[in-house]
Chain A
Amino acid sequence: DGGITQSPKYLFRKEGQNVTLSCEQNLNHDAMYWYRQDPGQGLRLIYYSQIVNDFQKGDIAEGYSVSREKKESFPLTVTSAQKNPTAFYLCASTYGTGSNEQFFGPGTRLTVL
């Protein structure tokens, strides 16, 4: 089945530690996205990538880093520089440009202890 997988579903981290969230898609989509969702708020764009080896900052990129070495994969690293990392993280992909609908993964809930 085609789709987007994110792992792990739940992640706990101690303050000061970096952590990497996985996102893989087998939809052959060029564009991939990372969003952050906080309670009662919409989705805020962290980073996005249109093609392999290229990515752009979204609205809240500080404290995060990404890589796009393969078309299928777009991992997100939450660094210790992110002051308030506890949130729900969603990965998405789309074909073509932003004019098309996005397909979402099941999300990773990150909690900083």
Chain B
Amino acid sequence: AQKVTQAQTEISVVEKEDVTLDCVYETRDTTYYLFWYKQPPSGELVFLIRRNSFDEQNEISGRYSWNFQKSTSSFNFTITASQVVDSAVYFCALSEDTGGFKTIFGAGTRLFVKA
């Protein structure tokens, strides 16, 4: 069955600290897609990254980086030198190739970055 687990409900850090948000997924498909979204206090989800199951290369975008490991079914997200503007809820999501148009979201991790 399709499942996404974000075990960290809330994380609090001080500005400039590095922080890693964990995401563990379950799927029986060999072809699937993983996503991270950010939900700031305004409420609208913003897409951050998409990864397909055949691309395990880690990605870096500015202060953001993602570590995809199929061996542990994890797709973790690291923010380097966190800033107050990073405070938000972050969602990991999974879409299976056989799932058609459906995407399953994790429960989200609320990140507080204190000045």
Cα separation A43 to B92 with both chains bound (whole Å):
11
A-B contact count (CB 8 A): 65
Report whether B50 and A101 are in contact in the complex, using a CB–CB cutoff of 8 Å: yes
Is B62 located at the chain interface by the 8 A CB criterion?
no
The verdict on B9 contacting chain A, using a C-beta distance below 8 Å, is yes
Q: Which residues of A contact B105 (CB under 8 A)?
A: 35, 42-44
Check: A110 CB closer than 8 A to any chain B CB: no
User: Are B9's CB and A99's CB within 8 A?
Assistant: no
Which residues of B (59-115) have their CB < 8 Å from a CB of A?
Answer: 91, 95-97, 99-103, 105-108
With the chains together, A105 CA to B44 CA distance in Å? 6
Report the separation of the CA atoms of residues A99 and B94 in the bound assembly, to the nearest whole angstrom: 9
How many interface residues does B have (CB within 8 Å)? 27
B20 within 8 Å of A (CB atoms): no
Q: Are A97 and B107 within 8 A (Cβ)?
A: no
> Contact at A45–B102, with CB atoms within 8 Å?
yes
Q: How far is the CA of A99 from the CA of B105 in the complex (A)?
A: 14
Chain B residues contacting A63 (CB-CB under 8 Å) are none
Nearest chain B CB to A108's CB is how many angstroms away? 9
Given contacts A41-B107, A98-B103, A104-B45, 6 further A-B contacts (CB under 8 A): A42-B6, A43-B45, A48-B102, A101-B35, A101-B47, A109-B43
> Can you offer 30 A-B residue contacts whose CB atoms are under 8 A?
A33-B101, A35-B105, A40-B9, A40-B107, A42-B4, A42-B105, A42-B107, A43-B45, A44-B105, A45-B103, A48-B101, A48-B102, A50-B100, A50-B101, A58-B102, A90-B43, A92-B45, A94-B101, A97-B101, A98-B95, A98-B100, A98-B103, A99-B33, A99-B52, A101-B50, A102-B45, A103-B47, A106-B44, A107-B43, A109-B43
